Structure 1
Amino acid sequence: MQFEELVDELARRMTDSSFISGTISQSRTKSDEVKRVKVKPIELKGHLHLQFEYQFERILQHENVPASEVHGKLSELLERYKQVHAEFADEKIHVQLSKKFKVMWKSDQIHSKKVVDLSHNRKKQYLLDDTTPYPFLIRLGVQSPDGKVKKQKYDKFRQINRFIEFIDDSLTHLPKDRTIRILDFGSGKSYLTFALYHYLRIEKGLDINVTGLDLKKEVIEECRQIAQDLNYDNLEFLVGDINDYNEETAVDMVVTLHACDVATDMALARAVRWGARVILSVPCCQHELFGQIQSPELQVLLKHGLIKERFSALATDSIRAELLSLVGYESQLLEFIDMEHTPKNILIRAYRTEKRHSTETIQQYKAFRDMLGAKPFLEKELLQSNHLFLSE
């Protein structure tokens, strides 16, 4: 069997009704950041897709590929990897590719035929089930006492679950031999603060200590009462400003949701100073760069106020993510869920890795910043605290 024949055969079989799951592994290059790729069939809007799950060292990324595009995706992957395991309803196969792409194919029959069922992919599987009553969701008015999610609160329920997915992904980066210290700046009504506490303490049984901080005294008092009613002993709420909070020397996770404009940068700078292992931030009202950008090359874009505002917000978050990477974090910009019909749907996720950055990376950041004529608040904060060095 030739390489092209292998791709044809796998594409054909993986898109018929017998395919259950597969794994593509053994990269041909040590520099490939994706360790392995898992594949499974899913149904989206009534059409067959293959979901490719890319497994990096610390994170997972998913790509849903329509059946008509699977051949090209497999061809691309099999040029990078040497091994394929695939399970079908009545057969398991193992494929090994040599350095010169010689194909070795081994097949084992399955005596008890399996049934491929895509139905489990039709309903979203939440980490918090939408039929189980949770005391904190009932107390916050998201669920009725019998566990039913209120119709008008279903978007909030989806947002809470999306947030918990990010928390769950972060577990491998948190300490396992001591109390985990978590700070939530700008906690507001604290739906997500309570969700975080419930998931880590009640569901996972972790030893945690969580503080929610907000400027609104009446909101904080209400949250304190709810925490007391739920017997959440290691969850406290304080009235305070991000810039004035100096009670910590080390924190494991910093969460900041919709802190306005440079308040987000203040929280990110604090997280870096404390050596936080995990940062989860949903920025809001990114006005800083709007008045700074002076770039003739971008004038076609910048002359439209609406477009300039959106571009400024995207550039601000891109700069934040890049700065975090320059001080030893693995950072990503991910899609969150809109809150109350606003476009605050980008989440900055950063894991501390201490990975050294290259001179080229610094130069790329400086070139982008200078093209915009920007003077980012976060850059100044990190330079002043001696966490960032741009002289290389």
Structure 2
Amino acid sequence: MEALRKLIHQIAEEESLISATLSQRRKTGEILYTKVQIKPVEIKKTLNYQFAFHYSNKVLHENLSPSEAEERLTGLFETTFRQGLICTPEADYQILISKKFKVSILTKSPTKQAGSLSHNRKKQYILEEGTPVPFLVELGIMNEDGKVYAKRYDKFKQINRFLEMVQDIIPFLPQDRPLTIVDFGCGKSYLTFALYHYLSVEQRRTLNVVGLDLKADVIEHCSLLAKKLEYKNLRFLVGDIAEYDELSQVDMVVTLHACDTATDAALEKAVRWDASVILSVPCCQHELFAQVEAPVMEPLLSHGILKERFSALATDAIRAKLLDIMGYKTQLLEFIDMEHTPKNILIRAVKAPSEHRDRLWAEYQAFRDFLQASPYLERACADLLPPSKGVEV
């Protein structure tokens, strides 16, 4: 811990902090906030540090003086969080703390530049407007001067939101070897290109990325663009998710808007690959709509639009719980604002064996049986789950 204390003190003395993110809370007492983000702000012409404490349904902010912030940040690492990313103009510092409090500090090339400290400053994006990014230019999101086209700003924000989520899971990926990533149902591949650019160009990781989709014309277009951008380790293939068997090991699986049970097929692949990270935005969850039956819920289920929405939420709840049972820690996050699309829930799962598998399995079976459902993912992964005592559907 001493090396970490010295690093925090040095950054505080130099006033060089751009941002910090603390995650993976220790299981001590009642879990309150699950993540803390820190940034410098200027209040009444005085440097302060704003701490944003992320709870399940809210974010609370606290502004601290530099000395208070140093003490608070150190304390959070010592008592509460096991991982962190501290960004300065000179370097990024990735903090990893083992269960036995062994601290590893990985120093990497800087990914951020210091900006204005105004409390109400313009939102800072991972890919900043004003700086030309080749793949964004080629995809028609910004011009050659780095200005984002007004009609594509929603897509620009979506890409940055996705990369914020990728930034959070970097500590969970293998650090000592090249990464293998598969994007199932990649479509036009805006986020596939963004993922490759961020990890390969900005984070300087060695990658092997595969984008898979059923549409041959889309895959041909993406392949030509990858070649033009000289993304040498990014390949696009025509194929079906359930039938893809080219790889034996994958570190990260991305599936965005794979329709209905295609999402489940991708999740099964990820689990069987023992992937370290899964990012999934489901789409068109029809399976449970035809199955769910619970007389006590008739006031809700008798209305088609309510039944459709409930079935979609129940489907994602089932997916998350099954992933928890099969050795992951899952979070359901808002991907983009509801005003842009109702399909805005992202399942983020990281490898973290459960300490309460039996309890989770009992909770899952009770929920499944209450709905009288027979989910695809459970059937596909039956050999990876405890024996079921549920009703037959």
TM-score band by shorter chain is 0.7 to 0.9
Distance 1:133 1:380, change over 3 A: same
* Offset of residue 244 of structure 1: 1.0
* Offset of residue 164 of structure 1: 0.5
Query: Partner of 1:289 in structure 2?
Result: 288
Query: Partner of 2:258 in structure 1?
Result: 259
**1:60-89 deviations in whole A, cap 9, x for unaligned?**
9794348xxx9xxxxxxxxxxxxxxx8438
* Offset of residue 230 of structure 1: 0.5
Query: Partner of 2:373 in structure 1?
Result: 374
Query: Partner of 2:28 in structure 1?
Result: 30
Distance 1:120 1:226, change over 3 A: farther
Does residue 1:389 correspond to 2:383, yes or no? no
Native 8 Å contact 1:184 1:212 kept in 2: yes
Does residue 1:221 correspond to 2:216, yes or no? no
**1:341-372 deviations in whole A, cap 9, x for unaligned?**
43110000000112233422211111111111
Does residue 1:88 correspond to 2:76, yes or no? no
Query: Partner of 1:269 in structure 2?
Result: 268
Distance 1:62 1:375, change over 3 A: closer
Equivalent residue letter for 1:264? T
Query: Partner of 2:183 in structure 1?
Result: 184
Query: Partner of 2:203 in structure 1?
Result: 204
Equivalent residue letter for 2:28? K
* Offset of residue 170 of structure 1: 1.0
Distance 1:233 1:241, change over 3 A: same
Query: Partner of 2:76 in structure 1?
Result: none
Query: Partner of 2:98 in structure 1?
Result: none
Structure with bigger gyration radius: 1
Measure the CA separation in 1 of the matches of 2:57 and 2:308. 30
Does residue 1:64 correspond to 2:64, yes or no? no
Query: Partner of 2:46 in structure 1?
Result: none
* Offset of residue 278 of structure 1: 0.2
Query: Partner of 1:327 in structure 2?
Result: 326
Query: Partner of 1:350 in structure 2?
Result: 349
Distance 1:90 1:263, change over 3 A: closer
Partner secondary structure for residue 262 of structure 2: helix
* Offset of residue 145 of structure 1: 1.0
Native 8 Å contact 1:187 1:212 kept in 2: yes
Query: Partner of 2:361 in structure 1?
Result: 362
Measure the CA separation in 1 of the matches of 2:308 and 2:207. 39
* Offset of residue 387 of structure 1: 1.4
* Offset of residue 297 of structure 1: 1.3
Native 8 Å contact 1:42 1:51 kept in 2: no
Distance 1:304 1:148, change over 3 A: same
Query: Partner of 2:231 in structure 1?
Result: 232
Measure the CA separation in 2 of the matches of 1:199 and 1:62. 29
Measure the CA separation in 2 of the matches of 1:276 and 1:91. 40
Native 8 Å contact 2:34 2:56 kept in 1: no
Native 8 Å contact 2:196 2:234 kept in 1: yes
What TM-score do you get using the length of structure 2 for normalisation?
A: 0.74
Native 8 Å contact 2:214 2:238 kept in 1: yes
Partner secondary structure for residue 183 of structure 2: strand
Query: Partner of 2:111 in structure 1?
Result: none
* Offset of residue 126 of structure 1: 0.4
Measure the CA separation in 2 of the matches of 1:227 and 1:92. 44
Distance 1:90 1:365, change over 3 A: closer
Structure 2 gaps, min length 5: 1-18, 20-24, 43-49, 73-115
Native 8 Å contact 2:180 2:252 kept in 1: yes
How much is the aligned-residue C-alpha RMSD, in angstroms? 3.3
What is the 5 A alignment of 1:33-48? 33=31
Query: Partner of 1:245 in structure 2?
Result: 244
Native 8 Å contact 1:182 1:208 kept in 2: yes
Structure 1 gaps, min length 5: 1-20, 22-26, 44-49, 55-59, 71-85, 96-116
Measure the CA separation in 2 of the matches of 1:90 and 1:348. 38
Native 8 Å contact 1:187 1:257 kept in 2: yes
What is the 5 A alignment of 1:163-174? 163-174=162-173
Distance 1:201 1:340, change over 3 A: farther
Measure the CA separation in 2 of the matches of 1:254 and 1:209. 12
Native 8 Å contact 1:186 1:212 kept in 2: yes
Native 8 Å contact 2:285 2:312 kept in 1: yes
**1:15-54 deviations in whole A, cap 9, x for unaligned?**
xxxxxx9xxxxx99934456896778989xxxxxx75425
Measure the CA separation in 2 of the matches of 1:93 and 1:248. 46
